[in-house]
Amino acid sequence: MRRALRPLAAAMLLISVAARAEQVDLVCNAAENIALVRFSVRGESPPVFPRLPQKLDRGLSANAGMGRTDCTLADGTAIRVRGGEEQAFAYGEGGGDPPAFFSLWINQRKVFSRKVWKPGYSESFNNLPIYDGVVIASSRVTICATAEGKPQRCDSQPLDLAQAQVDRVEYGSAAQKPPVGHFSVIARGTDNQRFCKDYLNSLKPGIDEALSGQKTAFDINLDLLDTLPGGKEGPVRSGLLDLSPGAARRLMVWSGGDRYFDGTVIAVAPSALTTVAIVAAYPFDDIETWPTRGAPPGVTLVSGGQRQLYPSVSPRYVHLVPQRVAGALYFFAYPTNVKVRPTAALVKPLAEGGFATLCAFNRTEPHY
């Protein structure tokens, strides 16, 4: 079994990252110059780790979990490990069970980078092995893994640190590295910098919550807009909102949350323009072409795939949240794929037409 995971129904695997139980742990016997990176998927507390042959790991796999990530052996060998996993999605087969990986540094040199130790749910049906542990000893690295229905297998390879480069990012000056989770503000001009920092500080409950789809104090209640008759494009809302006090515009909001359309597209139109005319101008089957289509007079399309906003990302995979900031209409934007940069942006539709991206925000992620 995939350490008791595979028998679960697919629906049970569509769980949040916060609820996941994968753990990467480091245990060391400094005196004997041996270390073990080990892996757990079961979810017990404390975690339960697979056992390795006593002769190989000298009993390290029998130790209780410590949550350790760094250690230094008696011979001066410094070891660091960091675990992570790919992005989870609430759709697709096993979308909530993505691959898990780890990175390993020895004497500041990266030995493994984002090496998958647990395949995702879909890949697991190829009967790929799951890592049980990685032993570092005597200038060798030994990987022990178990495939379903087969005995544990351990394969050794020489450790040639001379072939690995010192990781200047991981071991650079601490003063040059913002802490993980820190959001940096990118904006042109002093006034915009000040505005964007104030926005970030005033965003309640916070930008992390906004990126996870939670409502913030700035969000406009879209439930007050009219919902058009349902179609394959998912929810479409329409209503009048003030661009700024006294300047009403019609908003058309397309949104989706599945594999084909996991994002938002918004049309800002003159208040007199009918929803029928707007829908006719933007047929859903051609959503990829919307950013380059000729728009009806006075209509601004706000979406990904445009020069001002995630130009390399399809409009299907950028989220937009209408917000009211200091009385004006803005859109908080972020890509579905968390690897895309910037992490988020703040967009302002302009009175004369078009839109401008005033703020961009980058989150410092763990280094792998």
pLDDT band, very low/low/confident/very high, at 18 (cuts 50, 70, 90) = very low
What distance, in Å, lies between the first and last C-alpha atoms of the chain?
29
269 SS3 class = strand
Q: In the prediction, which pLDDT does 366 show?
A: 94
Cβ-count burial of 149 within 10 angstroms (0-12 exposed, 13-18 middle, 19+ buried)? exposed
Average pLDDT, the chain: 89
pLDDT at 123 over 90: no
Distance CA(249)–CA(242), nearest Å, equals 6
Distance CA(254)–CA(301), nearest Å, equals 11
* Length reported for the chain: 368
Instruction: Supply φ then ψ for residue 34, to 5 degrees.
Output: -140, 140
**Domain range annotation of the chain:** 10-176, 183-363
CA 96 to chain centre: 13
pLDDT tens across 308-333, in order? 999 999 999 999 999 999 999 999 99
Encoded tokens for 133: 């542990």
pLDDT band, very low/low/confident/very high, at 17 (cuts 50, 70, 90) = very low
Complete DSSP assignment for 173-210: -GGGSPPTT-EEEE-SSHHHHHHHHHHHHH-SS-HHHH
Q: In the prediction, which pLDDT does 2 show?
A: 47
Q: In the prediction, which pLDDT does 9 show?
A: 31
pLDDT tens across 46-86, in order? 788 999 999 999 999 998 877 899 999 999 999 999 999 99
The set of residues, in sequence order, having a beta carbon less than 8 Å from that of 255 and lying 6+ positions away, is 234, 235, 236, 237, 263, 264, 265
Distance CA(331)–CA(344), nearest Å, equals 11
| CA distances in angstroms from 154 to 27, 127, 358, listed in the order given | 18, 17, 54
Q: Alpha-carbon Rg of the chain, whole angstroms?
A: 25
| Residue 197: half-sphere exposure toward Cβ, Cα within 13 Å | 8
Q: For 123-143, b where at least 16 C-beta lie within 10 A, e where not — what string?
A: ebeeebbbbbbbbbbeeebbb
Q: Give the helix ranges, DSSP H, for 85-219.
A: 121-124, 190-202, 207-211
Q: For 226-244, b where at least 16 C-beta lie within 10 A, e where not — what string?
A: eebeeeebeebbbbebebe
- pTM for the predicted model, two decimal places: 0.86
C-alpha closest to that of 6 among 165, 125, 102, 181: 125
